Amino acid sequence: MYYSARNVIKHPKINFKSEGYIALLLFILFSWGVLNFWNHLMQLIDEDIDSTLPSSWLIRVMLIIAAFSCLFQKRPGVLTYLVNITIGLIIIFILCVTAFHLFFNMLPDFSDFVFYYECFLLVSFCGLPICLFIRII
């Protein structure tokens, strides 16, 4: 008749696997590298970094959400998933840059590459937490 505490309390099913920690470490290193490279590019063209979107609080919050959602993945293969999404976005942006400049019949200059790189950062850092949340579900 009496229920023991062991049967009543439900334990959360969160698996902290070593793959999640490795994926988190590589994601943080990759994010630091691409944002540091973006910072260097902005200093080369003498643009104010504080007024751009990748330096805003939105990107910082999205990076934190993506980092925590790397840890809470239930299925294995989060690192492969991150690599596939990143490579897919790189290919899409290379094709878009090529198509835009073929349609306009002009060669891209350095500021165009900086603009497209900034767009790549925004799409990848804002879309990645959404993809990882969908993968958790």
Residue 126 lies in a domain: yes
Domain count, the chain: 1
Show the domain range for 66. Answer: 16-136
Rg of the chain over all Cα atoms, to the nearest angstrom: 20
Tell me, yes or no, whether 5 lies in a domain.
no
Instruction: Specify the length of the chain in residues.
Output: 137
Evaluate whether residue 38 is within a structural domain. yes
Structure tokens at 91: 């290919």
Domain assignment present for residue 10? The answer is no
pLDDT of residue 92: 92
Residue 18 has what pLDDT? 75
Alpha-carbon distance of 68 to 106, in angstroms, equals 43
pLDDT given for residue 39 in this prediction = 87
Answer whether residue 4 is part of any domain: no
Neighbouring C-beta atoms of residue 110, cutoff 10 Å: 10
Q: In this predicted structure, what is the pLDDT of residue 89?
A: 92
User: pLDDT by residue for the chain (137 residues), tens digit each?
Assistant: 555 555 555 555 555 667 778 888 899 999 999 989 988 888 888 887 777 777 788 888 999 998 888 888 888 888 899 899 999 999 999 998 889 888 888 888 888 888 888 889 999 999 998 988 888 87
